[in-house]
Amino acid sequence: MAPPSDRAPLAERVEELLATGGLLPIVAAGRPVLRHATQPYDGQLAPALLARFIEAMRDTMHAAPGVGLAAPQVGVPLRIAVIEDPAPVPEEVALIRGRVPQPFRVLVNPSYEPVGTARVAFFEGCLSVPGWQAVVARHAEVRLRGEDEHGRALDEVFTGWPARIVQHETDHLDGTLYLDRAELRSLSTNEAVAALWAQPAPEAAAEALGFELP
């Protein structure tokens, strides 16, 4: 636990961010805050401030729109992320990608480990890398441990698309962007993905662009 004198600046920064009352500005790739490990949350924000910050993160994620948002993406180096995915996709996509609805969750101090050895690869994007998507092979199933926003222990196995979301967001908290894990030859603009690679799985993209799938 940091001494009180070191704790004030983070809380002040969050107060400043929330002072506008609007959506939080999303930080884009190239900003160091996205490349540094975050501080574990241990009370740096008082409960009322934490609740307001989480609400603003949720509103910002909805507006983006996105299915996850990590605190460093709004310039706050704390080990906190939010996730939520209504999964508005066709049934075929839902089946192949395992994209089932994920209710709103707050992940505090999360970490994950793979369950089994299976990996699955799909296009994904990031609010901090706007305009682009790339194929990332990730663990098909992970065990996520941490806490929720009330400090209750979280220990849960995630599969399908929610497993991808929690890996992507937890990686942010370690200063890792999805591009670090991506097949770079798959890198595509959103326009190219919509025009060419909207299939539920990336086999055709792998063939045409020349990258490996697990």
Residue partners of 135: CB distance under 8 A and separation at least 6: 121, 122, 123, 124, 182, 183, 186, 202, 205, 206, 211, 213
Matching residue, tokens 């020349």: 210
What is the nearest approach in angstroms of Zn ion to the Cβ of residue 24? 14
The helix/strand/coil state of 107 is: strand
Nearest approach, Cβ of residue 70 and Zn ion (Å): 7
Segment near Zn ion (CB under 5 A), from 12-20, 40-48, 76-84, 118-126? Answer: 118-126
DSSP per-residue string spanning 131-182? TEEEEEEEESEEEEEEE-TTS-EEEEEEEHHHHHHHHHHHHHHTT--GGGGE
Q: Which residue is nearest to Zn ion (CB)?
A: 126
Write down the catalytic residue from 84, 124, 147, 169: 169
Site string for Zn ion, 126-155 (x = CB under 5 A): x-----------------------------
Q: Tell me the window of 10-18, 45-53, 83-91, 123-131 that interacts with Zn ion (CB under 5 A).
A: 123-131
Q: Is 169 a catalytic residue?
A: yes
Name which of 9 and 32 has its Cβ closer to Zn ion. Answer: 32
Which residue lies nearer to Zn ion by CB, 129 or 205?
Answer: 129
**Minimum distance between the CB of residue 125 and Zn ion, rounded to whole angstroms?**
8
Burial class of residue 175 in the structure, from the number of CB atoms within 10 Å of its CB (0-12 exposed, 13-18 middle, 19+ buried): middle
Smaller CB distance to Zn ion: residue 26 or 90?
A: 26
Catalytic residues: 169
